[in-house]
Amino acid sequence: MRRVTAEDDARAAVAAAWKLEAAKVVASVARMVHDVGLAEELAQDALVAALEQWPADGVPANPGAWLTTTARRRAVDHIRRAQRLERKREQLAHRCPGEPEADGDDAGHDSHDVLRLMFVSCHPLLRTEARVALTLRLLGGLTDEEIARAFLVGRTVIARRVADAKRTLAEAGVGFAMPPRTELAERLSSVLEVVYLIFNEGYAATSGDDLMRPGLCLEALRLGRLLAGLAPDEAEVHGLVALMELQSSRSAARTGPSGEPVPLHEQNRGRWDQLLIRRGFAAMLRAREAGGPPGPYLLQAAIAVCHAQARTAEETDWRRIATLYGTLERLLPTPVVRLNRAVAVGMADGPAAGLALTAPLAEDPALRDYHLLPCVRADLLHRLGRYEEARREFLRAASLTANAAEEAFLRGRAAAATTAARPAGMPTLGEAVRAFLERDGMDPGTARSYGQTLRRLCRSLGDELPLAALTSADVARVFALAWDGAAARTWNRHRSALRSFAAWASVGHVAEGIGRRAAGRERARPLDEAEFTALAGRPDVALRERTLWWLLRESGAPVSTVLALDVTDLDVRARRARTRGGEGWLTWGAGTAEWLPGLLAGRRRGPVFLAERRPGPGRPPAPGDLCPETGRGRLSYERAEYLFKQATAGHTLRRLRVGPRPPSRPSTS
């Protein structure tokens, strides 16, 4: 038997104690210094001190309390130093809590502090990856190295993300306050989103060779369980925990001996973890006790419950699952939810019904490269006996997934679906494209440009599609999906690439459906009334974007003109504004009028549309582009365009303008 040496022992104890206590230590210091980034650094100082002292002096009786006390002492030193330096003794006095008190004096604060820490590390100001990294570091006590390993990126990437996040929080003066009651729901959902994202990154590893990275699942489960203890009245928190417990319960069963995925209905249910299932059910009960209408996490957990309750795949209550997905789709009409509903309906009402639901999804640009769509379709086609189509969809799915184990599995299914052998000597689309691009006399620039067009064709239709089976309708569909919103020049470039390829491969007819677009038709088709109303009415659209979009829509004015408006240009009651330079007026209607006062929120000067945050020291904007009341700069065209593209899967803001409506002359003045 090997006995661990005292020193090894102490080092291991430091690392383990740190992971278990990090959240509490950081939170407790953050309450003193009101800056989460600084709090973490002070807490890290305590960790360093522990690494120095424990191996020599032995592990203290209560390692967590030792770390907290030491970190708080460092915080007091820091505050004193800051006071001396800045000579702001009076102003800071109320912030200084004095000496750290004896251990355990503030157990009551502990849980609130940790909850606040979660809110800050998942702050909507931060980009998603930054929230994830910061949360794992602050709440999970993970090192940059450990986070980097879990996400398969370099350590410096994570270090930078964390540093940027801390700076962003400090610059925005986020501090360490609980979010105001009005923002609580939104902020909580940001926390839930981060936790579930961490879980999913572990559960459905989107890249790499392993199908799962269990470490991340465990971190997410811990964060979820912790959150459930801190916010016990929130049904969605328990819903998320239930969902994660139930999904985890299947983790041992969902990969086969060589790492390949095992679909739910083929899993050995004896390998499902009953302990986690029971925990999931218990979390469900707590969610029900918390009350309120079921939210998206609770509904997804309810679906997981249906699976967990079925002793065999055949006993699954697909009818109920399809109904739950229907409810979920009304709350969360994402393409992925709609796809899952199609699967459930395919089980409840037969493959034809499921397949019909996937048809509109194939037209959705958001799912263009999502491998599960062809995967689901392939499965349904296979059950309908349409093997050749199934085979092609399996291959398409295989070419779209970034996960090696999954790709191998899908290729296997495609091979199994091959019934009729392809006639000898007939090339596939992929083969023909490769031969075309690699042929002699093709210059590299042209090959690159043509390659863009033709690879899109291959990705959308499948490399394995026999060239002879390619139809002009297939091609037209890909073109419409990929480039309908593009400029005429872009469209025509793709068109000539296609024509050149089709002529070379002697399948000229497939290019016939693609017409040339007049170069004058630069402006894309404006959104129609229904599209616009749906877009502007979406609950996830922020007030600023909503107001901007309405104003662009109703005024018909150019984007740059609208963004250049200052509050002093507006005549809110008359629903009009003087445009920059004073050469005319733009007017708006009821839609803009509904949101504009909320956006202005009493501001009397500065730009109407403001950036989310204050400008960094590196790029001071012109004084006219700075709001004297909030210190924030004018919203840039690039940012506005970016947000619109995010919201609409790639449309440009110009598509909001209904028609040319030049600024009108004032009728009276």
Tell me if 248 contacts another protein by CB under 8 A: yes
Per CB under 8 A, 19 contacts another protein? yes
**And the tokens for 200?**
């999913």
Query: Which one, 63 or 354, has the nearer CB to another protein?
Result: 63
Select 273 or 407, whichever has its Cβ closest to another protein.
273
Question: What whole-number distance in Å separates Cα of residue 198 and Cα of residue 216?
Answer: 6
The answer to whether residues 621 and 636 touch, using CB atoms and an 8 Å cutoff, is no
Q: Is 228 in the site for another protein (CB under 8 A)?
A: yes
Binding mask 27-66 for another protein (x = CB under 8 A): --------------------------------x-x-x---
Half-sphere CA count of 575, side-chain side, radius 13 A: 13
Among 154, 229, 263, 589, binds another protein (CB under 8 A): 229
Between 14 and 397, CB nearer to another protein: 14
| Half-sphere exposure of residue 666: CA atoms within 13 angstroms, side-chain side | 13
| Whether the Cβ atoms of residue 447 and residue 406 lie closer than 8 Å to each other | no
Cβ-based neighbour number of residue 363 at 10 Å: 11
Least distance (Å) between residue 119 CB and another protein:
18
Of the candidates 133, 130, 126, the one whose C-alpha atom is nearest the C-alpha of residue 150 is 133
Pull the structure tokens for residue 190.
Answer: 């940001």
Contact predicate 139/121, CB 8 Å: yes
- Residues 249-268 as x/- pattern, contact with another protein by CB under 8 A: x-xx----------------
- Residue 469 interacting with another protein (CB under 8 A): no
Minimum CB–partner distance for residue 216 and another protein (Å): 9
Report the residue from 273, 364, 431, 612 that binds another protein according to the rule CB under 8 A. Answer: 273
Interface region with another protein, contact rule CB under 8 A, candidates 272-280, 460-468, 534-542, 652-660: 272-280
Helix (H, G, I), strand (E, B) or coil at 571: strand
Stretch that binds another protein, among 7-15, 48-56, 384-392, 506-514 (CB under 8 A): 7-15
Of the candidates 75, 226, 417, 565, which one interacts with another protein according to CB under 8 A?
226
Which segment (39-47, 86-94, 209-217, 471-479) binds another protein by CB under 8 A?
Answer: 209-217
How far apart (Å, rounded) are the C-alpha atoms in residues 585 and 665? 6
Residue whose tokens read 């733009």: 586
Query: How many residues would you count in the chain?
Result: 669
Closest among 122, 310, 150 to 218, alpha carbons compared: 150
CA distance 327 to 281: 20
Q: Per CB under 8 A, which region of 13-21, 39-47, 536-544, 657-665 contacts another protein? A: 13-21
Check binding of 121 to another protein (CB under 8 A). Answer: no
| Strand, coil or helix: 521 | coil
The count of chain residues that interact with another protein, using the rule CB under 8 A, is 31
- The nearer residue to another protein, 89 or 271, going by C-beta atoms, is 271
Least CB distance to another protein at residue 221 (A)? 6
For the chain, how many helices (H) and strands (E)? 28, 3
Strand segments, DSSP code E, in 493-583 are 570-571, 576-578
Q: Which is nearer to another protein, 16 or 416 (CB)?
A: 16
- Return the residues of window 499-528 that contact another protein according to CB under 8 A: none
DSSP string, 63-119: HHHHHHHHHHHHHHHHHHHHHHHHT-HHHHHTT---S--STTTTHHHHHHHHHHHHH
Under the criterion CB under 8 A, does residue 381 sit at the interface with another protein?
no
**Cα distance between residue 66 and residue 55, in whole Å:** 14
Site string for another protein, 393-432 (x = CB under 8 A): ----------------------------------------
Closest CA to 257 of 276, 275, 244, 271: 271
Please choose, out of 8-16, 352-360, 499-507, 652-660, the segment that lies near another protein by the rule CB under 8 A: 8-16
First to last CA, the chain: 95
- Which member of 152, 157, 159, 218 binds another protein (CB under 8 A)? 218
Out of 97, 208, 214, 326, the residue judged to bind another protein by CB under 8 A: 214
The pair phi, psi for residue 453, each rounded to 5°, is: -65, -50
> Which tokens is 317 given?
């209550």
Position 574 contacts another protein (CB under 8 A):
no
Q: Footprint of another protein on this chain (CB under 8 A)?
A: 12-13, 15-17, 19-20, 59, 61, 63, 202, 214-215, 217-218, 221-222, 224-226, 228-229, 248-249, 251-252, 271, 273, 275-276, 279
